[in-house]
Structure 1
């Protein structure tokens, strides 16, 4: 299955049978007949119109009118991203079973597509917290299967910020484990980072990127820090990095 994403620019018409949206293709190639996910809901792309003419596909970066099926169209909002899924879709329970045991799906989702689906479900405030947490675990599993492991601390920080520490030893919502993971990604000490930050304009580009990456990752510890004991050496290490952060480029 080809990967594709559509971002809603405007909903022009909608009723119980479907509607018309102005969309921008922001990834892959959208084609007539594809099924798109909006959270747990599904809609089919039944037609694409550009400059008043029907076309069969829409490439990334281009805008068109999308004719979509189903009442979900009336629920769409500006900026919402629709992700292409297999025609039968992948229910949350199916994805969880596949991630846990590895049984074959009819069409295995691409890791990036799976991450997008999981992240959308995790951040969807219309869903119950328990369901959002399940989607969060899907997002983390997708990150583990992708070439973007640096995204994992951000997803874990979001889960802790929104839902607090995990119960029953949930490692994905363990504040101390998150802080240790973040600090283990730094090649410098706080003192070294602070020294480089003072002359960052003179540094080579890779060193500047490293400092900016550190600056972004430090923020992932913010939701976890209140749960660390004041006497915990890990808390002192996090505080040392937090003090350095404002001076980083």
Structure 2
């Protein structure tokens, strides 16, 4: 079961106690009594109305008028998404255990929602470094579940840039492994990319996107390169690509 999500269509009334909004359910099932998150703030879903009468729930694809509690209602804007928070929320340790062994959760997070949550926690400078690292691993696990391996280098690069290589043999912060994995994604050699770069505007769209993807992924190697010895063949390969990158679209 995925988390319920509500997208704000309009705020009809709001004061210090809460307000009334028209929302569309864009995921899961919204039920009266649930609690929703807006960043770190919480909103209570007190009442749901559809076609002029109170209902207990409504699901994805449908619109309803909802009565919400919480002063933050006055700050809501059209298009903003509210995400259901299960009772007591999912603690980091609970999510880690679920990802590792698959024990049942009251509400199973959708991989995309989990990725978004974990990424924001990973980047939260107010959290201890150790907790941010754990959220980074959750983000990587969520990408695996969402079948989005092409985004893993960006998370690994962020962890390496912020926290350095893993002294405990953490493969997600191994500079050499990150560089190898990034370069393995390229279908071209640096020489081939350099040959195509000057006339990239005349290339077919798939070829342009391929060059642009390479340019973006090369950024992931930047925090890793200082940890490679200058004579390391991997460093030589990264440097060859770095020389080509400025000319890519």
1 CA distance for matches of 2:155 and 2:22? 27
Partners of 1:80 and 1:161 in 2: CA distance: 31
Aligned with 1:84: secondary structure? strand
Between structure 1 and structure 2, the one with the greater Rg is 2
Q: In structure 1, what is the Cα distance between the partners aligned to 2:43 and 2:104?
A: 24
Conserved in 1, the CA contact under 8 Å of 2:2 and 2:108? no
Shift in CA distance, 106/159, structure 1 to aligned 2, threshold 3 Å: same
Cα offset, 1:161, TM superposition: 1.1
The answer for the alignment partner of 1:93 in structure 2 is 93
**Aligned partners of 2:159, 2:104: CA distance in 1, in Å?**
28
Q: How many positions carry a matched residue from both structures?
A: 241
Query: How high is the TM-score relative to the length of structure 1?
Result: 0.77
The answer (yes or no) to whether the contact 1:40–1:91 under 8 Å persists in 2 is no
Q: Is the 8 A contact 2:124 2:132 kept in 1?
A: yes
- Distance of 1:195 and 1:23 partners within structure 2: 54
Aligned CA distance change for structure 1 residues 144 and 23 (closer, same or farther; 3 Å)? farther
Q: Which residues of structure 1 form unaligned runs of 5+?
A: none
Match of 2:107 in 1: 107
TM-aligned CA distance change 1:65 to 1:107, over 3 Å: closer
Q: What pairs up with 1:138-217 in 2 under 5 angstroms?
A: 138-217=138-217
Do 2:143 and 2:149's aligned partners in 1 also have CA atoms closer than 8 Å? yes
* Superposition deviation, residue 106 in structure 1: 2.3
Q: Per-residue deviation at 1:113? A: 1.0
RMSD value over aligned CA atoms? Answer: 3.8
- 1:158-215 CA distance string (max 9 Å, x none): 1111111112100111111111110000010001011111221221111111111111
Q: Deviating runs (4+, > 6 A) in structure 1?
A: 12-15, 21-26, 54-60, 64-67, 76-81
**123-132 or 100-109, which deviates more:** 100-109
Cα 1:178–1:43 shift into 2, 3 Å: farther
Unaligned runs of 5+ in 2: none
Q: Is the 8 A contact 1:48 1:58 kept in 2?
A: no
Residue 120 (structure 1) aligns with: 120
SS at match of 2:83: strand
Report how far residue 5 of structure 1 moved: 5.0
Indicate yes or no: 2:240 matched with 1:240. yes
- The 1:246–1:2 alpha-carbon spacing in structure 2 relative to 1, beyond 3 Å, is same
Cα pair 2:25 2:59 within 8 Å, conserved: no
Conservation of the 8 A alpha-carbon contact between 1:4 and 1:25: no
